[in-house]
A and B are shown apart, each in its own frame.
Chain A
């Protein structure tokens, strides 16, 4: 029963319809979590004793960085699935992930720069954390460029999946960069082995924003996926049915 349900997701028209429904559910939940997180982060949480109010950028910067990295891992996994089983849905989700992932990486870099200026006195430094996240952005953009450069959809998906898998090496580099090198960027405050180094009144809105951003990303993945699937399947019967002709 469960297996059959999962199996059906592999069919483009079933994917198109189910993804549309799931996207609405995910975005509704994401909106609720993000609104609660914004309220908690901007209104309820106290100012930071060192940074004052400007620390509130954390509520978007950290979730954006988490999504940017998580999206890359998902992209590599779906890329591998597409490579091995030649599943159209996996190929489409992989290229959907490059778009959403790139946008969240830009968000992480931009909010980091905006935060860096008042706290470090500079928008940008070439430290290991910032540079490895910039490499992440280039991997996403390289994926999209490579995909556009290859005419045949199947060949493009194969080449892009291999690029995504090779680039996976950058993910642990991003995470451990703050330990391996002497960076201006601080170490993890939440994702570490000991207890989070952040007060509960700040941690709760941060986690709400993180979960909300994750669900939004998941919905966006499906939304992009539907658009790209329809493009690829434009000559099919189900696409004509969806277009109302």
Chain B
């Protein structure tokens, strides 16, 4: 128990050491989550765009809903 307390106190400099490691954790989490969320958002956008095209194509009576790239 005392050993654990000593570990976290870092010789009385725990605030500095652990806040630095917290920023590190924050940067890791940012680089994991931000691109993931952005890609999901892009996937939703692509799906919405595609559905809009398909309904448009149905209305105009086109055979394929896909617009050439």
A residues neighboring B (CB under 8 Å): 42-43, 47, 52-54, 56-57, 60-61, 64, 96, 99-100, 103-104, 106-107, 110-111, 114-115, 117-118, 216, 220, 223-224, 226-228, 230-231, 234-237, 239-240, 242-245
Is there contact, CB below 8 Å, between B24 and A111? yes
Query: Given that A54-B10, A103-B30 are known contacts, is A110 also in contact with B47, CB under 8 Å in the complex?
Result: no
21 contacts between A and B (CB under 8 A): A47-B11, A54-B16, A57-B16, A64-B27, A103-B30, A114-B16, A216-B28, A216-B31, A224-B35, A227-B35, A227-B36, A234-B49, A235-B67, A235-B69, A239-B46, A240-B49, A243-B43, A243-B44, A243-B47, A243-B50, A245-B46
Which of A57, A100, A234 counts the most chain B CB atoms within 10 A? A57
Shortest Cβ distance from B39 into A: residue: A227
- Tell me whether chain A's interface is mostly helix, strand or loop, or mixed: helix
Interface footprint category on B: 20 to 34
Checking B13, B44, B46, B54 against A54 with a beta-carbon cut-off of 8 angstroms, the contacting residue is B13
Query: Given that A64-B24, A224-B35 are known contacts, is A54 also in contact with B50, CB under 8 Å in the complex?
Result: no
Residues of B within 8 A of A245 (CB): 46-47, 50-51, 54
With the chains together, A182 CA to B7 CA distance in Å? 36
Q: Which of B3-28 contact A (CB under 8 A)?
A: 7, 10-11, 13, 16-17, 19-21, 23-24, 27-28
Residue pairs across A and B with CB atoms within 8 Å: the count is 111
